Amino acid sequence: MGDKFEAANTHPGGEPENHPISNLKRWPLDTPGGRFYAEWDSDAPVTREGQLIFFFQFLNEGGRWERLMENTPLRYTGNRGSGALAVFGTLLLSILNGHYRYAHINTIRGDGVNPELLGMKGSVSEDTVRRALKRVDKKEGVEWLEGHLRDSIAPALVLPWILDVDTTVKPIYGNQEGALVGYNPQKPGRPSHSYHSYIIANLRLVLGVGVSPGNESSSGKGLPGMWRILDRLPREQWPTYIRGDCGYGNEQAMLECEGRGVPFLFKLRQTAKVKNLVRTCFRQSHGWVDTGDGWQAMEAEIRLSGWSKTRRVIVVSETPARSPGGSRRSKDRLEPLLPGDEWEIQAVPWAGKIAVLVSSLDLRSYPTACMPRQYRDRADCENNFDELKNQWGWGGYTTQAIGPSTLAANFIALVYNWWNLYTRFYDAEHHREAVTTRPFLMQGVGRQVQSGGQKTVRISLTHNQGGAVATAVTLVSKRLHEFGAIAEQWGIDQRWAYLLTCVLRPWLGGKWLSGVPPNCRIYLSG
């Protein structure tokens, strides 16, 4: 159906043909609820996402959309005069709708409200967006979006934070550039792209992303991207330490961290020498520390083949199945170190889950007992990756060239950050995934009407908690309106630092981010 429909409704030049429906007649329909009349109405500006007007208010007060558009590297103008604003505005609306393919853009072409709220004359076609992204120089485009990703959270990085680095594999089924065979645990032998991500662990926000051919290793390609991003931050905004899985537990990654003075916490692969170390530890009756949550740990040192020196390692395992009281522990209550991380051999009589961590963190500041938790907290970033891939289309919007795919991945990450910061106005204590926040804060039938020169968007909510939704959104909008009144003369950076202080107050612990004018603190406190 999709192919036939597209063929019948798409102009050879790529732009859909306009089929007016306003002339279609009204007709009766008999339903289980009785007779109703149906008619098409194409003249009224309407949208399914009527609540996006409040999100756009947030972007405007923080200067995010203005700042993004003022230095765009896209100098492309389509056949119908569409430029950067129309291209990225359309892509923004598509991402917010949960799309992951350019073809999905066609479903929002009839939105008569939200494009105008972004300053657009209307959304553009999928072909226009695809062609435009192909014309952006990859290096210039990535630097542009990386800069805005940093700006979205940089004021908060003066406080202690942890950088989670990871690589996820996206199988490729076409002939895209960089689709090469590499490590692919889900589909061995399938060509793929590698998506590298750099996550602010404390906040579950994205600092940067990268896309590379599927045969390039985590550290081989992920590390240069990470250092490029960190080198553009002031040293006082660097992370407390860097955390990664066994893809980063190698000499190259550790030497680079040590050379730059950044502590690390990585996991080691299960080499023969590592397994021998585990056996040695389990032969000892002392030295194990109970770390809680059904885990125990032991300090050790190791120098593997090819290493330049001996390093601190922590052997972590499940505690024995029988507790001191003799009752058997329920295995389903034990939290794995990371999903799927299991010891591959019967290395010791107790065959529970075992892992070996390598770290340059100071033993006094990070004793043995806290190290398993420090690493297990990394499992939270897996939720970020899952949300980005499955709810935000990260890894989507692919083309034959890898450059546009990289641009799309960075733009999705930026929208992800904006949306998650916005939602914290409503629940600052928790991170809510898009599957929860979109119905609550985005969906609602919106109809634009004009009277006396004033434009109004009338919103009808279908959420079963529509009253609570309307109350919450109205309160946030009122705060933003009041903020706009007092911050009229502030610069964009000052405005954004203030809004970040508002949404991150639980994490900041009463502190103020730099850049916030002193005269507004009384207002925020009230």
Contact 266, 374 (CB under 8 A): no
- In terms of C-beta density within 10 A (0-12 exposed, 13-18 middle, 19 or more buried), how is residue 435 classed? exposed
pLDDT at 330 over 60: no
Alpha helix positions (H), 71-125: 84-96, 114-117
Share of the chain above pLDDT 70, in %: 80
DSSP class per residue in 234-249: -GGGS-SEEEE-TTS-
Tokens of 473: 């959104």
Please enumerate in sequence order all residues whose Cβ is within 8 A of that of 327, keeping only pairs 6 or more positions apart, or say none.
none
Selection from 9-13, 120-124, 517-521 with the highest mean pLDDT? 120-124
Tokens 């594999």 found at:
169
pLDDT in tens, 443-466: 999 999 888 888 899 999 988 888
In this prediction, residues 333-355 reach a mean pLDDT of 48
For residue 224, the Cα-to-chain-centroid distance in whole angstroms is 20
Query: Is pLDDT above 80 for 1?
Result: no
Q: Could you give the angle at the alpha carbon of 440 between the alpha carbons of 150 and 51, nearest 5°?
A: 75
Check residues 280 and 323 and name the one with the higher pLDDT: 280
Q: Where are the domains of the chain?
A: 2-38, 263-323+336-372
Q: Could you give the angle at the alpha carbon of 218 between the alpha carbons of 213 and 222, nearest 5°? A: 85
| pLDDT confidence bin for 132, thresholds 50/70/90 | very high
Distance CA 251, CA 306 (A): 8
Confidence of residue 396 (pLDDT cuts 50, 70, 90): confident
**Which residues, in sequence order, are CB contacts of 156 under 8 Å at separation 6+?**
203, 500, 504, 507, 508, 513
Does the model's pTM come out above 0.75?
Answer: yes
Give the model's pLDDT for residue 297: 94
Which is higher by pLDDT, 340 or 34?
Answer: 34
**Which ranges in 21-73 belong to alpha helices (H)?**
52-61, 64-70
| AA letter at 31 | T
Cα 347 to Cα 45, 60, 80, 267, 270, distances in angstroms: 67, 59, 67, 18, 11
Quickly state the pLDDT bin for 340 (edges 50, 70, 90).
very low
pLDDT tops 50 at residue 422: yes
Can you tell me the distance from the alpha carbon of 168 to that of 165, in angstroms, rounded to the nearest whole number?
A: 10
Note the pLDDT of residue 224: 87
In the predicted model, is pLDDT for residue 420 greater than 50? yes
Q: Which residue has the higher pLDDT, 25 or 30?
A: 30
Burial class from Cβ neighbours inside 10 Å (0-12, 13-18, 19+) for residue 422 reads buried
What 3 state SS string does 408-449 have? HHHHHHHHHHHHHHHHCCCCCCCCCCHHHHHHHHCCEEEEEE
**Strand 192-200 versus strand 264-267 pairing type:** unpaired
Whether residue 191 contacts residue 401, with contact meaning beta carbons closer than 8 Å, is answered with no
When pLDDT is cut at 50, 70 and 90, the band that residue 353 belongs to is confident
Residue 381: pLDDT band (50, 70, 90) is confident
Strand pairing report for 241-244 and 264-267? parallel
Residues 88-112: what's their mean pLDDT? 94
Least confident of 115-119, 187-191, 491-495: 187-191
Integer CA distances (angstroms), 33 to 130, 161, 303, 304, 525, in order = 45, 57, 76, 75, 54
Compute the distance between CA of residue 443 and CA of residue 463 in angstroms, rounded to an integer. Answer: 8
Share of the chain above pLDDT 90, in %: 50
Q: Which of 276, 285, 348 has the alpha carbon at shortest distance from 317?
A: 348
pLDDT at 216: 63
For residues 211 and 401, the answer to whether their CB atoms sit within 8 Å is: no
Q: Indicate the SS3 state at residue 16.
A: strand
CA 17 to chain CA centroid, Å, is 35
Top pLDDT among 267 and 352 is at 267
Per-residue confidence band for 430, with pLDDT thresholds at 50, 70 and 90: confident
pLDDT (0 to 100) of residue 393:
85
CA distances from 428 to 145, 415, 484, 503, 504 (A): 26, 18, 21, 6, 7
Sign of the alpha-carbon dihedral angle for 438, 444, 450, 453 = negative
308-322 confidence digits (pLDDT tens): 999 999 999 887 654
Averaged pLDDT for residues 121-144: 92
- pLDDT attached to residue 4: 42
Three-class HEC string of 208-222? EEEEEECCCCHHHHH
Q: What pLDDT digit, counting tens, does each position of 253-306 carry?
A: 999 999 999 999 999 998 999 999 998 998 887 889 999 888 899 999 999 999
> 16 and 10 in contact (C-beta within 8 Å)?
yes
d(CA 426, CA 436): 12
pLDDT at 395 over 50: yes
Count Cβ atoms below 10 Å from residue 215 Cβ, excluding itself: 17
Average pLDDT on 92-120 reads 94
Give the residue carrying structure tokens 């960190």.
230
Sequence-distant (6+) residues with CB within 8 A of 320 are 350, 352
3-state helix, strand, coil in the chain (%, to 5): 40, 20, 40
Range scoring the smallest mean pLDDT among 212-216, 221-225, 283-287, 343-347: 343-347
